[in-house]
Structures are given as C-alpha cells and as structure tokens.
Amino acid sequence: MRRMLRLDAARTSARRENARETLSVVTRLLEAVDWLDAGVSSRFRYELRDHDYRTPGLVSDDALFTQTLVYLGISGVVDPLRLAGEFMDSRRLLSESISIQNDENFTEVLQAHADLYFENTVDGEPLTLRAGRMTFDAMDRRLVARNRYRNVINSFDGFRVRMGEDRSPWEVDAFALRPVERDIDDFDESDNSSWLYGVTGSWRAGSPNLEVEPYWLLLNQEARRGLPLQRRLHTFGLHAFGQWDAAQWDYDLSLVGQLGETRNLPQRAWAAHAELGYSWQADSKPRLAGWMNYASGDHDPGDGMQQRFDPLFGATFAFYGYSGYFSWQNIMNPAMRFSIQPTDRLRAELIMRAFWLASDQDAWVRGLRIDDQGGSGSFVGQELDLRVSYAVWRWVDLEVVYAHFFPGSFIANTGPNPQSSFTYFQAILRF
C-alpha cells in the first residue's frame, strides 16, 4: 500500500478533513449501530490576560470560556444519502468585558447538511455532493478553516462538490458558500451580500516526499446598509509540503497572490509561508523547526491602491502566536519551534517568535496602532510561547498555554508599551 504523508497535528501543514474527522469527538455510542456517528465535546478554558494589546486601554482581564459541541451523522441507511448535524453552544463567564461574536453564540446550528455519496466514480474515486450548513478546513487552513482555538467556529451555507478524499492520490474540491453571520441574541443567518467561491486541488502521488495543493478563491462582498463595495478578491496560490530521509526532515511552503478590490480601491497583495523541520529518531520525538510568515501591507495610504493582504476566513492561533495579537496581514514573522513528546499522552512545545511590519506605513492590525508616516519603525516585538498538553485518558484532554509578549520600538513610539502575558488552562471532555 502506498505510504501517505501524515505530519504531526501541531505542524502547519494541515490536511482537509470532513466534519467527523475535524470534530475529532465522534464516537460510536452504540457499537451495534454502525450507521450512526455521534459525539459530544465539552471544553472549559480559563484565560488570564495582562495588558491586552487588542483593546484600546490595554485591559487586563480573566474569563471562563465554555464550548459544547454535539454531532450526529447518519450514513448507510438510504444510500447514497447521508445526513449530518452539529450544534454549538459557546459562552463567556466571569468577565466584565462586553460580549463579542467571537466569544459567545448560544445554542446554534453549526452544521446541518445532506450529502450524496457515490463510492466509485472517476478513476475509482468517491464523489460527494453536499448542500446545507457546513464547516471545514481548506488547503493549509490559513485562508479557510474550522477554528480550533476560538470559542465560536466559522460556518457557511451553500454547496460543495468533492471528488476524492483524504487518502486519494488526487482530489478536487469546489464550493459556493455564504458566510454565516454570528448573532449573540438571535439565530445565525447567512450573509446575503457575500459569496465565497473556491476550487482547490490536491496531488498526493508524490507522497511522502511531495504533496501539492493549488487553489483559487473568490470572495464577493457587495454593498449593504449604505456601505460601498467592501471586497471582491481573487485569491490564488499553491501549497506544497512533504518529508524525506525516513521522515526526519519535513517542509511546508505556501505562496499566495491576491487581486481585486477592497472598499473600491484596487487590491494587489501577496503572502507566503516557508517552514523547515528536523525530527530526531528518539522515543521522545524531539523536533526543531524554523519558519517565516510574510503578508504584504499597504505601502502608501495615499496612492489609491490597497496592498494589505486579506486572510479571509483563515485560522490564526498557533500560526502567528498564542497571544492572538497577529494575523496574516502586514507581517514579517520568523520563528523557531522546539517540540517533544515524552509519552503518547504528553506533548510540549516552546516557540520564539519575532514580528515586524511588512510596511511601516500600514497598521499593526490587531494591535490597533498605525503611523501612516512610517516614522515609528517596523519592529513590533517578540513573543515566547509555551504549550503543554496531556491526554488523561480517552475522554479527557488537559492543556496549559503561556505566552509572553515583549514590545518593540514600533509600540514604544506609538503609545504605552508594557510587556503583556496570556495564560490559559483548558480541559476537554469527550463522550
């Protein structure tokens, strides 16, 4: 059997997954009922933030976040029809801060879709036709992702056609989706002014040495509520990853271009990611990796052109720092990561990151600061991240994260510049 590339889940090269695999909590509650997939996940996370740069007043706060997911899937009863539904309840407690849509969403339908699954079609590969509400990962998760850390998860209403699956030597995935707008006080509805179209491909015949994923995405966000055109962006790129030398060396590469309009200004932007890692052949599985993230910023606020890259619906946590201060926008970010797995249940990692603005005239987007004259420099700061996770047993996972941010000259020249820290303690129960 052909060996397929399976990189560690903590590495940046992530595979696309269907709802069951992404949820990772689905169990056979009744082993005799092989047509039913069901699972419940309850996550409890206590966070402490000191001098949060995402807030205007550098607020220090702590909060308890809870997230409950319930998944039901039916297959093999009325072939080729399959049904799936997932419910989400996300809450924030013990905090005096104002509720925001990324933190809370009460008893919502995260997924509700019907699939037609045909096992053998072109070249013997399966074909899946999906309609309804869904959430999934695409490419390397940097542009379209089912959020892992954030308390509220992205979802979309629309259609998806997938030829092939994760273990296929090739795969083509096409979709037409409306982003679902989160509403804390009412049921979520899709955004009728926006469409996300996409075609992605995967070529795995060269695995484990090389897997290639080309893609094209179009986000069309029309004017609404008196606002002008917001975004019409063509995003196209190539993601490649692999490993060699008995899996001791691995790499991950992404190159992305972006053309179109943002707020009626022409958009010309690009982004890239490059990573190289080495794993020692030892029982504790030590791995050392270095990488560089880059995303263009707006070079000149007055030139009538927008060059800041837009990360669309991508994930940020772990990619650009556990503090949550950075995204794939106006950034140059080298980093070094050392990870170790002393036992099957225990994992730990230490990451050192540094951050510069790709354009010193554009904003540090999540830090809410800008010097459009470029006189404050471009060095934003450094971050030290520590993460330890432990699988107590099959149904319980524990995790601790600590991030310490050291502000740089750009922050010192644009306002208060205290050091900042972020800590969380997390438990996930799965049934």
Give tens-digit pLDDT for 395-415.
999 999 999 999 999 999 999
1 occurs within a structural domain? no
9 occurs within a structural domain? no
**What domain count does the chain have?**
1
412 occurs within a structural domain? yes
- Residue 383 has a pLDDT of 98
pTM: 0.90
Q: How far is CA 47 from CA 51, 64, 106, in A?
A: 13, 6, 20
- Residue 102 has a pLDDT of 85
Query: Average pLDDT in the 167-194 region?
Result: 91
CATH number at residue 210: 2.40.160.100
Q: Which domain holds residue 155?
A: 19-420+423-427
pLDDT over 70 at 209, yes or no:
yes
- Residue 31 has a pLDDT of 56
8 occurs within a structural domain? no
pLDDT digits 0-9 by tens, 238-263: 999 999 998 899 999 999 999 999 98
- Residue 263 has a pLDDT of 86
355 occurs within a structural domain? yes
Rounded CA separation 382/405 (Å): 6
2 occurs within a structural domain? no
Q: Write out the two tokens for 43.
A: 């996550």
Rounded CA separation 225/192 (Å): 12
14 occurs within a structural domain? no
pLDDT top residue among 232 and 98: 232
Q: How far is CA 23 from CA 26, 39, 71, 181, in A?
A: 7, 9, 8, 21
pLDDT over 60 at 361, yes or no:
yes
Q: Is the dihedral of CA 158, 164, 168, 170 positive or negative?
A: negative
Rounded CA separation 83/226 (Å): 39
- Of 118-127, 221-230, 344-353, the least confident: 221-230
Beta bridge partners of 374: none
Return the H-helix or E-strand segment holding 291.
strand 287-295
7 occurs within a structural domain? no
